[in-house]
């Protein structure tokens, strides 16, 4: 097959890779239809509310994570995933009705920011849990970058659809369209469950455990603690950059339309670069240089980017930095990070992973948001903040190397037979 020669697909994997690609396309297209609106609404009254919005998102996660764990303990995978996606589809339709009614407009922007931030992490986390469950560790390192490209294609299509249809459907018309894409994602899940015949028992079994099982698993595993610390470093630096972006954009543009256009342009540029890397670069980089190098690409770019931003704190530098950093995350570091979970038990793939992807992630956002606000209130400006995070980026780079070695050890211990068939760790 031509695809087999150009892409890292082996016999029998093409249908699953294709449906996974479409699944992730639908999920991220649904999200990116709404993201520019969220970001514009968040700073419509300035940046002072951002720490509260990040804190509100974290508090929402404190409710959502045990709710997900409760569902995972009681329902098998074949029901768990439809329940999660069905819940968010219903939410979108309820938001549509609420916003169309014109009631409570004063809190609509903040509520939508918090909801969309929870929605994004949950639907993506559940997607990657499913991928780590139906693909082996060796398959994950070959296929996850290709599958992630489906998400990037969706992330390109989402802003494009928003720009094309917002004038005809109105902003509120994008919400049922997003719900329709999530419904298509449910169809992909059904097809993938049929393909993963060797996982049928896992499909029918429940995970069990308590509502805080995921956090307990993290406290007992240095490996999971390393993944959680990786996420905390990522969120700390992402939050600093997000706040710097908000400050610069709010100074330069005084209306929501121009801000939305800029955010959409950054999203589009990021995802165009990302797709090319995912299709033709990432799997070769992971295969030849290992997960440690792939993970380390993001902190390395962050280290260099914040250094340059500290020296030249202007919007052009920030936009280029954002595009490069987010492309490295989506194209290289994210597939590598998801591959870390392929060597773990199913409970860790769903419960511990979900706690890391949501609660730890948004907790890092909230702490970083207040830390940023506190430091700026003491007189630390854009340049000072950029230089202040350089030690974090350095430690993050070292942690990436450690996680790469730890994954290799677990891979050897879990599946030594893979090496006899030419599957490198």
Tens-place pLDDT, residues 208-229: 555 577 788 899 999 999 999 9
d(CA 183, CA 190): 11
pLDDT tens, position by position, 326-369 = 999 988 898 899 889 888 887 888 888 888 888 888 788 888 88
The C-alpha atoms of residue 48 and residue 246 are separated, in whole angstroms, by: 10
Confidence at residue 85, expressed as pLDDT on a 0 to 100 scale: 92
Q: DSSP secondary-structure letter at 379?
A: T
Cα–Cα distance for residue pair 377/78, rounded to 1 Å: 50
Element (H, E) at 31: helix 14-32
Size of the chain in residues: 425
Reported as a single tens digit per residue, the pLDDT across 7-41 is 667 777 888 999 999 999 999 999 988 876 666 55
Q: What is the pLDDT of residue 285?
A: 83
List, for residues 116-141, the tens digit of each pLDDT value: 888 888 888 889 888 888 888 788 87
Q: How many CB atoms lie within 10 A of CB 231?
A: 17
pLDDT at 395 over 90: yes
**pTM more than 0.75:** no
What radius of gyration, in Å, describes the C-alpha atoms of the chain? 21
- Whole-number pLDDT of residue 420: 34
Average pLDDT over residues 264-276: 79
The owner of tokens 């959680």 is 228
**SS3 call for 46:** strand
pLDDT for residue 40:
55
Cβ contact 23:188 at 8 Å = yes
**Which among 257, 259, 219, 241 has a CA at the least distance from the CA of 356?**
219
């Amino acid at each position: 097959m031509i695809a087999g020669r150009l892409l890292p697909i082996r016999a029998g994997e093409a249908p699953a890779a294709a449906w996974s690609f479409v699944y992730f396309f639908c999920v991220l297209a649904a999200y990116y239809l709404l993201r520019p609106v969220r970001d514009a609404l968040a700073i419509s009254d300035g940046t002072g509310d951002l720490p509260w919005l990040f804190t509100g998102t974290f508090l929402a996660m404190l409710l959502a994570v045990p709710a997900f764990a409760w569902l995972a303990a009681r329902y098998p995978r074949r029901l768990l995933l439809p329940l999660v996606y069905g819940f968010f589809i219903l939410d979108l339709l309820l938001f549509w009705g609420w916003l169309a009614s014109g009631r409570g407009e004063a809190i609509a922007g903040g509520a939508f920011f918090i909801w969309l931030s929870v929605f994004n992490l949950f639907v993506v986390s559940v997607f990657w849990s499913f991928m780590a469950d139906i693909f082996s560790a060796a398959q994950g390192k070959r296929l996850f970058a290709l599958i992630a490209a489906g998400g990037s294609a969706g992330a390109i299509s989402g802003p494009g659809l928003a720009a094309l249809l917002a004038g005809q459907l109105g902003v509120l018309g994008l919400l049922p369209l997003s719900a329709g894409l999530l419904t298509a994602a449910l169809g992909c899940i059904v097809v993938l469950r049929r393909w993963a015949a060797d996982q049928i028992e896992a499909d029918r079994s429940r995970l069990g455990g308590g509502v805080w099982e995921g956090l307990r698993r993290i406290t007992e595993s240095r490996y999971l603690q390393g993944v959680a610390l990786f996420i905390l470093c990522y969120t700390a630096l992402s939050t600093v950059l997000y706040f710097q972006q908000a400050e610069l954009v709010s100074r330069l543009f005084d209306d929501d339309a121009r801000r939305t256009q800029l955010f959409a342009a950054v999203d589009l540029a990021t995802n165009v670069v990302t797709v090319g890397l995912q299709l033709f670069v990432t799997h070769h980089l992971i295969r030849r240089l290992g997960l440690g190098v792939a993970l380390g690409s993001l902190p390395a770019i962050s280290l260099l980017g914040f250094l340059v931003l500290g020296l030249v704190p202007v919007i052009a530098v920030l936009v280029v930095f954002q595009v490069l950093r987010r492309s490295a995350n989506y194209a290289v570091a994210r597939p590598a990070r998801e591959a870390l979970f392929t060597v773990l038990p199913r409970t860790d793939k769903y419960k511990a992973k979900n706690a890391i992807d949501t609660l730890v992630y948004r907790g890092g956002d909230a702490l970083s948001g207040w830390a940023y606000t506190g430091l700026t209130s003491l007189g630390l400006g854009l340049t000072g903040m950029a230089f202040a995070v350089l030690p974090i980026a350095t430690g993050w780079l070292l942690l990436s190397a450690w996680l790469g070695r730890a994954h290799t050890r677990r891979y050897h211990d879990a599946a030594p037979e893979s090496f006899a068939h030419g599957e490198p760790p």
